[in-house]
Amino acid sequence: MERNIQKNGLVNLAVAVLIFLAGFGVTVFAGSLAGQAASIFLGLGVIVAGISWFQMRLEENEHSEKLELDELARSRGQSLFESKDGGSFPAQNARLQFEKYFVPGFAVLILLLEAGGAWLLWNWSGKNTAGLKEANATAALSLFAIFALLLFLIGRFSVTIARLENHRLLRPGASFLLAGAYVCALVALGIAGVEAKFPRADFWVARGLCVLLGLMAVENLLTLLLEIYRPRIKGKIARPLYESRVVGIFAQPESLFTTAAQTLDYQFGFKVSETWFFQAAQKNLAALLLIQFAALILSTTVVFVDVGEQAVLEHFGRPVATLNPGVHFKLPWPADKIYRFRTEQIQSFAVGYTPDPQSEAANTILWTVSHNKEENFLVANRATVTSQTASGDTNDTSKTQSVGLITVSIPVQFQITNVTDWAYKNSEPDTLLKDLATQEVIKYLAGIDLNDVLSQGRLQATKVLRDRIQAAANARSLGAKIIFVGLQDIHPPTAGDVAGTYEKVVGAQQTKLAKILDAKADAIRLTAVSGAQAFTITNVADARRIQLVSSKFAEAALFTNQIPAFEAAPSVYRQRLYLQSFADATKGARKYVLLVTNTQDVVIFDLEDKIRDDLLNLSITNSP
Amino acid sequence: MKKNVLTIVIAAVLVVIFALLLFTFQVRQSEVAVLTTFGKPAANNLDQPNLYFKWPWPIQQVYRFDQRVQNFEDKYSENLTADNTMLLTSVYVGWKISDAKEFFPKFAGGSVEAAQRQLETMLRSAKAAVIGKHNLSDFVNADPKQLKLENIEDEIKTAVQNQLASQNYGISIDFLGIKKLGLPESVTQTVFDRMKSERQVLISEAQFQGEAEATKIKSAAERQAADVIANAQADATRIEGVGVAEAAKTLSVFQQKPDLAIFLEQLKTLKSSLNQKSTLIFDERTPPFSLFQNLPANTQTK
């Protein structure tokens, strides 16, 4: 009795649709990332089950058509129906058209869904921080376990039917159902992990299922590419393109060898699985695995500690030795374990800022331009104003405790000096060291004046901080040596243009200096000019003295010589001198001589000077 | 036969591995473990590193905990100081599991996260109480001797330790430190404004000091120049006086014929007082125009 395979396919499809919808609902209900991945997987199962069921129907129609035609041929005579025209077999043509066009189309659709689903879910799971809803977790766990059981029972049944009766079209859907059972079980395990205080269990199951979807996409792509080059042998029934070997292996791991053999046979067109190598590998698989396992265990007895490293050797959890660079032997894992530490490497962290690669690429670092993600630290402020000219009211403000804010960038470098202390005293020694360094920076800044630390205090700050951080690390037995503490940047906050006003102070001081220097230059000029003027005044006076004395003595000498002439003819000499002097004195003067005396006429002289032409033409404008 | 031996070996290996997994467990140096039998914890913690034996689940179960110092940081929270300043602080705490079997049942199967949540609750309460007792100057002070940060840390630590000890949480605090110290954003902005005002005072100071200094320098120079010129003018007067004195020696010569000397001085003055643009009007009595007196009258002249 031949089983009606189409009904099996329909049952598979119905179960796939039902579980897909239910699984999706539970996923939304519980907020499970793994549930989302499982929903994509179950959705793909619906598509595969649907295609295979539809293809089964086409094959069954074709089979019915063939039986009807055979019946007609027997009843009416064979010659009437020996047509080679394809149009006489519509069901067969429909199947062929479906396999030729629709099946590859669906395979491409499945590929896109697999690749897109893996990609989107991977990104989504990385960004999602909501996590599982703990209140609904238990119910979701139970439901996924029930889905897993249902899918396992039906999937196992269908797979067995497909294998026993060699129904190739039942196999893809059945494999998806069985694999879906394992996927649902994994989701349930992930949720159980979260409930057992492994909060990332759901996330990692989701990531694992993303990888599975990715593998399925790669396999689907390879199958589509290889399908182009596969040798077509007449009578050889093609494997459905939408059947995933990865799903088959995932659903039935024991069939790995069989699947591999079938794949090779199918791809090369001859029985690769019958070659001696393949047979030997299959026959001695257990021994090979045992040897592999032994080699793996033996490999754990040798340890190579690299240059710059030290390792702690633990024997059943107890640290028994510190291993230096070189080769070492130990008992196999898990009796002896080693934990490596890079003791030579100079490690570093930053206090007060988060390095920003984009800003660090800048060649110029300014107070007014933020060059990292900086934090503000509280710092004491001894006086609000340090001005010498500050008036009495400043004293009132200085009585209250004033604080300032400052931005510091302090890189700290350290080395691990004692691996035992580093590994066993604190759970997160590097975080603790950073916390200690930050605490010391805060204490230092809280106890120093803002202006001191910005100016002369910087020099000693690095040394003081290094000593304090080292002392704090020693007090906590961190096993670390502080190599360097740098005060690479310390300035008022960039925010609010505080740093900008500091620059303006410098500008004002420069302006002040410029004004003083200008005044000094003026003073120098004035002093020099006044000196020269004084020199001129005294020299002019001296010249006039000399001139006066000389001229008077000369006049005296002349007078002495004039006396005899005067005594000889006093009136003549006097008149001569007068006339000579008159002539000289009036040589350039205008002279009017009135020869008329005792007359009634009035003589009018116009003594006005003639005004020059250029002065007459002068235009006068009103000044603004 | 050969295949059977191999199968037995593989089976034996698998059984041994499975048995080791079921019946043994390791405790590392950094760990402390609690072994429960049917859910009941054993009397002693397993805090020494070694290989231990146990009955398989569900008879016995092992719960491991990190016995190293673990540190966590509380939220950056705002509190009021004794002098009514809003202060933001965050502290980090180094704590460890001091008694695993006490710790284990109190925090949902030994959840470190649950323990830290509880610890943070206590910490915030203690922190608020301690900060409220101190002035801002105890947190930030230009005089390091008046700074009381370490005292404040000790007070918070003691308060939390007392709370932990009273209920035996199985936790001890190893250390506690202030990791962040700040002001609320609105206060931060006012501090920025005050810092800018301080700078503005210095800017004004520099500007006006410059002007004052320049004015002083200029006026000093002007005074010095005036002094120099005044001295020079005084010297010049003295020099001229000396010249006058020397010239006066010649007066005795002129005294021999005073009339002539005066006449000569008048002539000299006449010469120097007339220039090119002088206009002189004479009548015929003025020598040498007196020569015109004897000439016939010009009847046409009026």
Stretch among A105-119, A219-233, B20-34 having the lowest mean pLDDT: A219-233
Phi-psi domain of A374 (left: phi exceeds 0; alpha: psi -120 through 50; beta: other):
beta
Q: Do the chains contact at A424 and B68, CB–CB below 8 Å?
A: yes
Q: Where are the alpha helices (DSSP H) in A196-311?
A: 201-229, 245-251, 256-268, 276-283, 285-299
**What band does A398 get if pLDDT is binned at 50, 70 and 90?**
very low
Name the residue in chain B with its Cα closest to that of A289. Answer: B10
DSSP letter, residue B46: B
Separation in Å, CA of A593 to nearest CA in chain B:
4
- CB of B17 within 8 Å of a chain A CB? The answer is no
Q: Do the chains contact at B250 and A555, CB–CB below 8 Å?
A: yes
Q: Do the chains contact at B69 and A432, CB–CB below 8 Å?
A: yes
pLDDT above 90 (res A247)? no
Locus of tokens 């492994």: A198
Q: Which residues pair with B66 in a beta bridge?
A: B31
Q: Do the chains contact at B283 and A589, CB–CB below 8 Å?
A: no
Stretch among A26-30, A205-209, B26-30, B147-151 having the lowest mean pLDDT: A26-30
Determine contact, residues B214/A516, Cβ cutoff 8 Å: yes
> How do residues A419-438 score in pLDDT, each as one tens digit?
999 999 998 999 999 999 99
- Measured between beta carbons, which residues in chain A are less than 8 angstroms from residue B226? 530
Dihedral of CA A263/A266/A269/A273: which sign? positive
Q: Which of B201, B246, B301 sits opposite A387 (nearest CB)?
A: B201
Q: Which of A290, A378, A579 sits opposite B287 (nearest CB)?
A: A579
> Phi/psi of residue B183, each to 5°?
-120, 155
Q: Which residues contact A190 (CB under 8 A, 6 or more apart)?
A: A32, A34, A201, A202, A204, A205, A206
pLDDT of residue A383: 58
> How do residues A517-531 score in pLDDT, each as one tens digit?
999 999 999 999 999
How distant is the alpha carbon of residue A520 from its chain centre?
55
B18-48 b/e (C-beta count within 10 Å ≥ 16 → b):
eeeeeeebbbbbbbbbbbbeeeebeeebbbe
Q: Which of A516, A551, A591 sits opposite B210 (nearest CB)?
A: A516
**What band does A313 get if pLDDT is binned at 50, 70 and 90?**
very high
Separation in Å, CA of B163 to nearest CA in chain A:
23
List all residues of chain B from 272 to 301 with a beta carbon under 8 Å from chain A: 273-284, 287-289, 292, 295, 297-298, 301
Separation in Å, CA of B226 to nearest CA in chain A:
7
Q: Which of B108, B136, B217 sits opposite A520 (nearest CB)?
A: B217
**What band does A70 get if pLDDT is binned at 50, 70 and 90?**
confident
pLDDT above 90 (res A229)? no
Structure tokens of A209? 């299922």
| Burial category of A485 from C-beta neighbours within 10 Å (exposed 0-12, middle 13-18, buried 19 and up) | buried
- CB of B246 within 8 Å of a chain A CB? The answer is yes
Which regions of chain B are under pLDDT 50? 300-302
Cα angle, residue A487 at apex, residues A482 and A492 outer, rounded to 5°: 145
pLDDT of residue A272: 61
Average pLDDT over chain A, rounded to an integer: 81
Helix (H) or strand (E) run with residue B120 in it: helix B112-132
Q: Which of A446, A531, A582 sits opposite B228 (nearest CB)?
A: A531
pLDDT of residue A329: 93
Q: Do the chains contact at B10 and A286, CB–CB below 8 Å?
A: yes
**What band does A132 get if pLDDT is binned at 50, 70 and 90?**
confident
pLDDT of residue A620: 58
Name the residue in chain A with its Cα closest to that of B280. Answer: A591
> Phi/psi of residue A480, each to 5°?
-130, 150
Cis ω on the peptide bond leading into residue A334 (within 30° of 0)? yes
Q: Which of B136, B243, B275 sits opposite A545 (nearest CB)?
A: B243
- Measured between beta carbons, which residues in chain B are less than 8 angstroms from residue A406? none
- Measured between beta carbons, which residues in chain A are less than 8 angstroms from residue B240? 541, 544-545, 548
User: Which amino acid would we find at residue A113?
Assistant: L
Q: What percent of chain A has pLDDT over 70?
A: 83
Interatomic CA distance for residues A353 and A465, integer angstroms: 16
> Phi/psi of residue A332, each to 5°?
-65, 155
DSSP letter, residue B83: T
Cα angle, residue B196 at apex, residues B195 and B202 outer, rounded to 5°: 95
Q: What percent of chain A has pLDDT over 90?
A: 23
Q: Which of B201, B240, B282 sits opposite A544 (nearest CB)?
A: B240
pLDDT of residue A233: 63
In three-state secondary structure terms, B250 is coil
- Measured between beta carbons, which residues in chain B are less than 8 angstroms from residue A596? 297, 301-302
**What band does A616 get if pLDDT is binned at 50, 70 and 90?**
low
**What band does A278 get if pLDDT is binned at 50, 70 and 90?**
low
pLDDT of residue A260: 66
- CB of B255 within 8 Å of a chain A CB? The answer is no
| Burial category of B150 from C-beta neighbours within 10 Å (exposed 0-12, middle 13-18, buried 19 and up) | exposed
- Measured between beta carbons, which residues in chain B are less than 8 angstroms from residue A404? 191, 195
- CB of B7 within 8 Å of a chain A CB? The answer is yes
Closest CA to B283 of A598, A128, A17: A598
> Phi/psi of residue A476, each to 5°?
-95, 5
- Measured between beta carbons, which residues in chain A are less than 8 angstroms from residue B284? 593-595, 597
Q: Do the chains contact at B69 and A427, CB–CB below 8 Å?
A: yes
Name the residue in chain B with its Cα closest to that of A514. Answer: B210
Q: Do the chains contact at B228 and A498, CB–CB below 8 Å?
A: no
Choose between A386 and A500: higher pLDDT. Answer: A500
> How many CB pairs below 8 A link A and B?
382
Q: Do the chains contact at B284 and A511, CB–CB below 8 Å?
A: no
In three-state secondary structure terms, B124 is helix
Separation in Å, CA of A209 to nearest CA in chain B:
27
List all residues of chain B from 131 to 190 with a beta carbon under 8 Å from chain A: 135-137, 139-144, 147, 149-150, 175, 177-183, 188-189
Separation in Å, CA of B236 to nearest CA in chain A:
5
**What band does A393 get if pLDDT is binned at 50, 70 and 90?**
very low
- Measured between beta carbons, which residues in chain B are less than 8 angstroms from residue A519? 213-218
Closest CA to B48 of A422, A332, A475, A315: A315
Q: Do the chains contact at B175 and A599, CB–CB below 8 Å?
A: no
| Burial category of A612 from C-beta neighbours within 10 Å (exposed 0-12, middle 13-18, buried 19 and up) | exposed
- Measured between beta carbons, which residues in chain B are less than 8 angstroms from residue A390? 201
pLDDT above 50 (res A387)? no
Helix (H) or strand (E) run with residue B169 in it: none
Name the residue in chain B with its Cα closest to that of A314. Answer: B28
Q: Which residues contact B24 (CB under 8 A, 6 or more apart)?
A: B51, B52, B53, B54
Identify from A550, A571, A582 which residue to disrupt to test chain B contact, counting B C-beta atoms within 10 A and taking the largest count.
A582
Average pLDDT of span A497-507: 85
